[in-house]
């Protein structure tokens, strides 16, 4: 089977012939027709996540998939041959930059009927991230104020739409060229991060979704009301995530140390910081499917690469600048 793999951290992505997926009793074999590109793919290649995602190399990259069911395990009940499906495979079973992939039934959902396979492939990781940040962790309610950084990006473009659906007033940071774009998604307050300082313009926010980290994360703490929360998806990881990961005691201490500074600054301000590394969930994807098919959420695909261009596609992640998501297509 043809796939695109990383054989060593910081090394190039390469085409390779790999064994066919092993399909367990609770697995669904999917013919990959489209795969979303995420910064996570580049960070895995660069070794930035090897502490918390210790993959055995060579590893097939790819964290989003849309395609057709071509096989089912003996105990699969929800899917049948020919179903069009999409998923973010769980973190230890990634590998969507391939011709086929076996996905756990519980991670999979039927593709939204109203969109293409390429659009569906753009959604799982970013939509699940937005859902788990805003609905599950943030419990966003009508009338609250939410700041979403990098609103024109993959997570941001979906999170803006979801936050508006939940009834929040939404602020976001973008470059000047994306102001009208994010207003079209529903943003109420748009800040040009190159010419404006969001910390000087915002205050009293209930929740911040931060995808940038560093100084941006520190400044985000200061725009919150007392009791507010920053959810970071760029790190640093915290002890709660280490427990969720099932990390050993030493790794738990390391992760707690990595986030100790930002958590300490948060406590001084009377706010909290949480790290989110989204998890796979077919159940949540089914709720997202309903929102897509009802017109509440619309995927944003900024560029489509052919499967043969996968190496170039992964390289493009370093440059950024794509609205929404880039997708690899086998159509």
CATH number at residue 113: 3.90.180.10
CA 186, 111, 133, 55 dihedral sign is: negative
Q: What is the residue range of 158's domain?
A: 125-275
Are both 112 and 131 inside the same structural domain?
Answer: no
Residue 290 falls inside a structural domain: no
Q: Which pairs from 178-184 meet CB under 8 Å and 24+ separation?
A: 178/151, 178/152, 178/323, 181/152, 181/323, 182/151, 182/152, 182/156, 182/157
Are both 208 and 309 inside the same structural domain?
Answer: no
- The answer to whether 118 and 304 have CB atoms below 8 angstroms apart is yes
Are both 269 and 320 inside the same structural domain?
Answer: no
Q: Which two tokens stand for residue 128?
A: 């699940």
Residue 78 falls inside a structural domain: yes
Environment class of residue 328 by beta-carbon count within 10 Å: exposed (0-12), middle (13-18) or buried (19+)?
A: buried
Residue 50 falls inside a structural domain: yes
Are both 226 and 303 inside the same structural domain?
Answer: no
Are both 117 and 152 inside the same structural domain?
Answer: no
Q: CATH number, domain at 255?
A: 3.40.50.720
pLDDT value of residue 53: 82
Residues 155 and 210: their CA atoms lie apart, in Å, by: 10
pLDDT value of residue 24: 98
- At residue 45, what are phi and psi to the nearest 5 degrees? -60, -40
**Single pTM value for the model:** 0.96
Please work out, in degrees rounded to the nearest 5, the angle formed at the alpha carbon of residue 171 by the alpha carbons of 165 and 174.
115
- pLDDT per residue of the chain (331 residues) written in tens, 0 to 9: 999 999 999 999 999 999 999 999 999 999 999 999 999 999 999 998 887 788 999 999 999 999 999 999 999 999 999 999 999 999 999 999 999 999 999 999 999 999 999 999 999 999 999 999 999 999 999 999 999 999 999 999 999 999 999 999 999 999 999 999 999 999 999 999 999 999 999 999 999 999 999 999 999 999 999 999 999 999 888 878 878 877 778 888 888 888 899 999 999 999 999 999 999 999 999 999 999 999 999 999 999 999 999 999 999 998 778 999 999 999 7
Are both 117 and 176 inside the same structural domain?
Answer: no
* Number of separate domains in the chain: 2
Residues 188 and 169: their CA atoms lie apart, in Å, by: 6
Q: Which of helix, strand or coil describes residue 301? A: strand
Residue 209 falls inside a structural domain: yes
- Is the link from the previous residue into 236 a cis peptide, with omega within 30 of 0? yes
| Per-residue CA distances from 169 to 141, 161, 323, 324 (Å) | 10, 11, 22, 21
Q: What order do you get walking across the sheet with 189-192 strand by strand?
A: 189-192, 169-174, 145-148, 205-210, 224-232, 272-275
Where does 122-219 show beta strands of DSSP type E? 145-148, 169-174, 189-192, 205-210
Residues 64 and 48: their CA atoms lie apart, in Å, by: 19
Are both 305 and 269 inside the same structural domain?
Answer: no
Are both 133 and 270 inside the same structural domain?
Answer: yes
Q: Which two tokens stand for residue 85?
A: 């499906």
Residue 281 falls inside a structural domain: no
Are both 102 and 149 inside the same structural domain?
Answer: no
Environment class of residue 54 by beta-carbon count within 10 Å: exposed (0-12), middle (13-18) or buried (19+)?
A: exposed
Comparing CA positions, the residue from 77, 79, 58, 76 lying closest to residue 68 is: 79
Residue 193 falls inside a structural domain: yes
pLDDT value of residue 247: 75
Residue 160 falls inside a structural domain: yes
Residues 323 and 156: their CA atoms lie apart, in Å, by: 10
Are both 262 and 316 inside the same structural domain?
Answer: no
- At residue 192, what are phi and psi to the nearest 5 degrees? -80, 105
pLDDT value of residue 243: 81
Are both 119 and 132 inside the same structural domain?
Answer: no
Are both 199 and 305 inside the same structural domain?
Answer: no
Q: Which of helix, strand or coil describes residue 262? A: helix
Residue 288 falls inside a structural domain: no
Residues 22 and 12: their CA atoms lie apart, in Å, by: 26
pLDDT value of residue 258: 82
pLDDT value of residue 76: 98
């Amino acid at each position: 089977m043809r796939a695109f793999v990383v054989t060593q951290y910081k090394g190039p992505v390469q085409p390779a012939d790999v064994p066919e997926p092993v399909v367990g009793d609770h697995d669904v074999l999917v013919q990959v027709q489209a795969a979303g590109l995420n910064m996570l793919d580049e960070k895995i290649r660069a070794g930035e996540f090897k502490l918390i995602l210790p993959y055995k190399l060579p590893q097939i990259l790819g964290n989003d998939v849309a395609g057709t069911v071509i096989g089912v395990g003996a105990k699969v009940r929800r899917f049948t041959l020919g179903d069009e499906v999409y998923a973010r495979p769980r973190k230890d079973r990634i590998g969507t930059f391939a011709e086929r992939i076996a996905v756990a039934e519980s991670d999979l959902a039927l593709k939204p009927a109203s969109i293409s396979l390429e659009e569906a492939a753009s959604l799982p990781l970013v939509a699940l991230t937005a859902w788990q940040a805003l609905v599950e962790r943030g419990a966003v309610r009508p009338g609250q104020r939410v700041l979403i950084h990098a609103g024109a990006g993959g997570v941001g473009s979906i999170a803006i739409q979801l936050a508006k659906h939940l009834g929040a007033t939404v602020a976001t940071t973008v470059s000047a060229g994306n102001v009208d774009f994010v207003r079209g998604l529903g943003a109420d307050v748009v800040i040009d991060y190159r010419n404006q300082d969001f910390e000087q313009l915002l205050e009293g926010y209930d929740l911040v979704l931060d995808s940038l980290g560093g100084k941006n994360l520190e400044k985000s703490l200061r725009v919150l009301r007392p009791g507010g929360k920053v959810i970071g998806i760029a790190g640093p990881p915290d002890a709660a995530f280490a427990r969720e990961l099932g990390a050993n005691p030493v790794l738990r201490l390391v992760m707690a140390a990595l986030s100790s500074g930002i958590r300490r600054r948060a406590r001084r301000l009377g706010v909290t910081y949480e790290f989110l590394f989204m998890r796979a969930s077919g159940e949540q994807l089914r709720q997202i499917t309903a929102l897509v098919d009802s017109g509440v959420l619309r995927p944003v695909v900024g560029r489509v690469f052919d499967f043969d261009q996968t190496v170039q596609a992964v390289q493009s992640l370093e440059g950024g600048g794509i609205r929404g998501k880039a997708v690899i297509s086998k159509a």
